Amino acid sequence: MNGAEILLDCLKREGVEVIFGISGGAVLPIYDALNTQDHIWSILTRHEQGAAHMAEGYAKATGRIGVCLGTSGPGATNLVTGICDAMMDSVPILALTGQVPTPMIGKDAFQECDIFGITLPIVKHSRLVKNVRDLPGFVKELMYVCRTGRPGPVLLDVPRDVAQATCNDWEYPETFNLRGYNPCFPVDLSGLAAAARLMAEAERPLLYVGGGACHAEATEELVALAERLDAPCTTTLMGKGAFPDGHPLSVGAPGMHGTAYANWAMHQSDLLIALGVRFDDRVTGKLSEFAPNAKVIHVDIDPAELGKNRRPDVGLVCDVKTAVRELLKLVEPKCHKDWNALIAQWKREQPLRYSQANGHVRAQHALQVIAEVTGGDAIVTTDVGQHQMWAMQYYPCSRPRQFITSGGLGTMGFGFPAAIGAKVGCPDAEVWCISGDGSFQMNLQELATSMYYGIPVKIAIMNNASLGMVRQWQKMFYGKRYGGIDLAECPNFVKLAEAYGAVGIKVEQAGEVEGAVKLAHETNDRTVVIDFRCDPEEDVYPMIPSGTTVHDMRLQPD
């Protein structure tokens, strides 16, 4: 077998079923090997960034490792945004890159770049293969590092001559030893008794749940803990779905565009039970004034997160599911009638709201209709911007891996390719991409991928003819001096969809929303693009301006 065939055989042993990528000179041996096997599906994307985001969507929806592939030079560098996005959101993907032949490395050969060096800060681990005999061991260690501990991206750079070199006596290792990497150290549960004591003493506890809880798929345990403590629960953008949005103890998302009552609850709590969160700046705002009276229990699988932004009173290095299971053995039932009554009052006084005046299409209304028509059961991916925040607010989720978004890096162009990846990983699920007219245009070429391979998804474009979130900031903080945000009304998304063979629908009035969503819901043989023509003056509220406190929260435009 040559190196390319060995690579694919190793990936097969690791359970890889699909590779998203684009061919090129340096990866021709790999594509030649792909053409002569039938256990890995090779999906030809239209841009390497799309391939990386498809791998992310696949990984986020399934919990398995997503794999993307690019050739040397520009093919490899086009993967970088997706790799960085995966690093920020702890997504397990393997990036395969081609490289010029080993004798030419360092000599400025055609399409050569040091992708190993470029990606060092944004991967968990990477390898440049210089000998075909090293390939099996490198694949084994990269896949292990990718999926263990805090998940994240890894990279394997394969020179063309290594992919072509033959080897007759190779073996795939069952174990390996990577010096300095030991994610399976004994779980640190030494603080369990102290954590349980804080929970017993608290009068205003709040569960603060993040993406780590989604990775751990700890919904059952979280619900049990919240109900045992009679404690409300707030879920971050990355943690959405880890705790059911429809549960009576749910208070929605916290932070810049979180619910008013979630933010007030955080500010007035006396105990934050932080589970798989980073204390991200979009949640905390001015860190020195965040939850000033709260003690903190922080559970995270990554010890580097404990004390990075907020020093915990009790820190547990552990995955969320295991920690909560152990806590449930120690925690006695509690009742916080007054605390929950106060939060219920806040919910009544300051619910999420929007105006349906003049019959204009509102993204919030469209999202509520999508939730109603799909029964809230669809997988939803988003791009980045106002529509992302409205999706967080108005599309209820009941399970992990149902809400797929770019949280840490905030990558426009993520949503649609991620939806394709999610649909490949979960072919029986209905998948909706919630996008904006700016974000969608960054990777709209993947309509060709969706249609060619028969991967139907639904795309809801909240079209306000501008980069809406930037416009909102310029409106609020820059005296309405608008610049660099006008997208006009171009392109015609209906004709664009039809040019690719997809279904295109334009919605201009609120009364047309339900019919369009139902048509998309019932169309399962091809991708559907709905162009919701939204009011450009509509902004996202509530809003806590960056770097400020809950006292600066703006509930409505007035």
For the chain, give every domain's residue range: 3-164, 192-349, 357-541
Please state, in angstroms and rounded to a whole number, the distance separating the CA atoms of residues 395 and 393.
Answer: 6
Count CB neighbours of 358 within 10 A.
8
Q: pLDDT class for 205, splitting at 50, 70, 90?
A: very high
Q: pLDDT class for 558, splitting at 50, 70, 90?
A: confident
Same fold, 3-164 and 357-541: yes
Closest alpha carbon to 51 in 405, 417, 426: 417
Please state, in angstroms and rounded to a whole number, the distance separating the CA atoms of residues 260 and 254.
Answer: 8
Residue 337 predicted with pLDDT over 90: yes
* Beta pairing partners, 403: 380
Residue 189 predicted with pLDDT over 90: no
Please state, in angstroms and rounded to a whole number, the distance separating the CA atoms of residues 63 and 67.
Answer: 13
Task: For 12-35, write each residue's pLDDT tens digit.
Answer: 999 999 999 999 999 999 999 999
Mean predicted confidence (pLDDT) in 513-519: 98
Residue partners of 14: CB distance under 8 A and separation at least 6: 65, 139, 140, 143
Task: For 358-387, write each residue's pLDDT tens digit.
Answer: 778 999 999 999 999 999 999 999 999 999
Please state, in angstroms and rounded to a whole number, the distance separating the CA atoms of residues 516 and 520.
Answer: 6
Q: What CATH number has the domain spanning 357-541?
A: 3.40.50.970
As a whole-number percent, the residues of the chain with pLDDT over 70 amount to: 99
Q: What is the model's pLDDT at position 390?
A: 97
Q: What is the model's pLDDT at position 184?
A: 65
Task: For 70-119, write each residue's pLDDT tens digit.
Answer: 999 999 999 999 999 999 999 999 999 999 999 999 999 999 999 999 99
Q: What is the model's pLDDT at position 210?
A: 97
The pair of structure tokens assigned to 111 is 């399409």
Q: Which amino acid is at 184?
A: C
Residue 124 predicted with pLDDT over 90: yes
The pair of structure tokens assigned to 400 is 């992990």
Topology, domain 3-164 = Rossmann fold (3.40.50)
Q: Are strands 458-463 and 503-507 parallel, antiparallel or unpaired?
A: unpaired
Task: For 250-271, write each residue's pLDDT tens digit.
Answer: 999 999 999 999 999 999 999 9
Q: What is the model's pLDDT at position 276?
A: 97
Q: pLDDT class for 348, splitting at 50, 70, 90?
A: very high
The pair of structure tokens assigned to 77 is 């560098």
- The pTM of the full predicted model, rounded to 2 decimals, is 0.96
Topology, domain 192-349 = Rossmann fold (3.40.50)
